[in-house]
Amino acid sequence: MIKQLTLFKDETKNINHTAESYTGIYGMHKYWSKKPYNIIRNFILNYTNKNNIVIDPFCGSGISVTESIFTGRKAIGIDINPSAIFITKQMVSRISTESVQKEYVKLENDVKDEINSFYLIKRGDETFIGTHFLWEDGKIKEVWYKSGSVTIVEKPTEEDAKKAISFSYEKIPYYYPKEKFFENSRINAKRVNHIYDLFTPRNLMALSLLMDRIENIAENDVREFLKFCFTASVGQASRMVFVIKRRGKFNGKSRQIERKEVGSWVIGYWVPKENFEINVWNCFENKYRKILKAKKELKSINYPIGEAKSFEELLGSKNLLLLNEPAQKSLKKIPDNSVDYVITDPPHGNREPYLELSIMWNSWLKKPVNYEDEIVISESKDRDKNINNYHQLLTEVFVEIERILKPNHYFSLMFNSLDDETWINLVTMMNNLNFELEKVETLGYSARSVVQDTRKGGLKTDFILTFRKTSQKRTKTIELVSVKNNKDYIVNLIEDYLRTDKDHCLETYQILNLLISYFLQQNKIFRLSEILNIMKTELKEEENKWKKREG
């Protein structure tokens, strides 16, 4: 039985950090589960000093790396995903925007007209360049093109349809991805499909031509920058762009005419029944201009970049080390007690199979991928990535983090999972290492992903658990609380939380945030599924919020 404790407001108050929007460089390229840069920056400033070494063993799109560099720290970014390291390097790299613009003009002169010729639309004696083509069940239903500044939306002519289907995968003379997907219904990936099936033959021809010309650029930095613009735009040039339908309005009243708008590639590899085929050059040009603008804005930040090839070089004048390696192996190269701060967002069980989600980018970039050592639980039967493999490899990473971190320095761990075994294993694992839990905080997202909104395996906020590495090993016991045996006490806790809200109602994640924060501070954990069951039987749910039952 849990000891009956007086519930003070201060005891359950956890700090919830508010995210700022992903603008500027942080909006340049898609990646999953991006963490808010302002919150990451605050943590780095709080736990480190200038010239300290900050490491992120699962750096993803590199926000922790970027913020470390911007704030005068030295950064190590590790990720098994080649695309992650590619994106991270482009995020922080300094490049002459003048050189980029010169090469872009050459590229434009070389391929723009040829690509646009794939989308020509003839109307009488006039010729226009198509911008969007709406497909449904393998047939074009609408064509969009510009006449001056006006967008014209029409039914396709027979000639429009013939032109669209005149392209074929077999006739493309340039490289394009031919790999097949891993079978994984979670991300709408089917083993029988190839990556190229995500694109119409026409758009695939345009993309392969564009990438071929980019790869022939002599200057490495400029070439990599334009590849970055390519991968940032390639999803919007795919068949995964869905159609948004909205009711039109007339004099403030609804009317039945539907106005169709362009959606985007969201997550996974779902090709909707109705989808857009968007002019490839327009996709690339739009993304290029946004990225170039962000890079120009970056010039106002005065920061040096000296990329190291080893940890030893980082101890000198260099300040950036990027490693495309599995964390459990890469960390072994770092000396004991040598890192000032660790901040990371590891894979959260089976929520997001990052390498499978990045197969399109990695294939276009011709990057070899190490699927065997990925730390993930994948529902793909093509991969042996189960919960036991996940916990074993993640434990190896945490053991290495403990070893490399300096005594009395800090490790901030972001985590988001409703899976009982994953959650309990994480807390138990950290309890067995030489760490003391210092603080439990939560962070929200500035733009929640589809996964964050709809997956049963995730909360709407992440926990940030900050641990301090102690100088001496301390034996601690952690108690797994039986929610069933302590039902009345826990229900009373939840009802106390509800009373603190002005409407006396909270969402699931808000209740769990408060309970987890409260119990972790006492070295206690519980099964999340048992809490959810109690909420269903003891509370009333209205519009995704929980209230106390009447009577």
Please calculate the CA angle 87-93-98 and round it to the nearest 5 degrees. Answer: 115
Domains belonging to the chain, first-starting first, are: 9-88+309-476 (3.40.50.150), 97-297 (no CATH)
For 390-414, what is the mean pLDDT? 96
Q: Quick one: DSSP state of residue 194?
A: B
Please calculate the CA angle 343-357-111 and round it to the nearest 5 degrees. Answer: 110
Question: What residues are paired with 322 via a beta bridge?
Answer: 77
Q: Which of 339, 373, 342, 338 is nearest to 355 (CA)?
A: 373
8 A C-beta contact, residue 354 and residue 451: no
Q: How far apart are CA 310 and CA 320, in angstroms?
A: 10
8 A C-beta contact, residue 124 and residue 152: no
* 8 pLDDT above the threshold of 50: no
pLDDT grade for 445, boundaries at 50, 70 and 90: low
Q: Please give the backbone phi and psi of residue 387, each rounded to the nearest 5 degrees, phi first.
A: -65, -35
Q: CB under 8 Å to 167, separation ≥6 — which residues?
A: 118, 200, 201, 202, 204, 205
Its pTM stands at 0.89
Cα–Cα distances (Å) from 548 to 4, 450, 485, 508, 545, in that order, read 21, 29, 20, 13, 10
Q: How far apart are CA 406 and CA 349, in angstroms?
A: 28
* 305 pLDDT above the threshold of 90: yes
Q: Please give the backbone phi and psi of residue 371, each rounded to the nearest 5 degrees, phi first.
A: -75, -25
Separation of CA 471 from chain center = 35
How high is the pLDDT of residue 289? 97
Q: How far apart are CA 328 and CA 324, in angstroms?
A: 12
pLDDT tens digits for 210-245?
999 999 999 999 999 999 999 999 999 999 999 998
Q: How far apart are CA 133 and CA 280, in angstroms?
A: 12
pLDDT grade for 415, boundaries at 50, 70 and 90: confident
8 A C-beta contact, residue 132 and residue 144: yes
pLDDT tens digits for 90-121?
999 999 999 999 999 999 999 999 999 999 99
pLDDT grade for 453, boundaries at 50, 70 and 90: very low
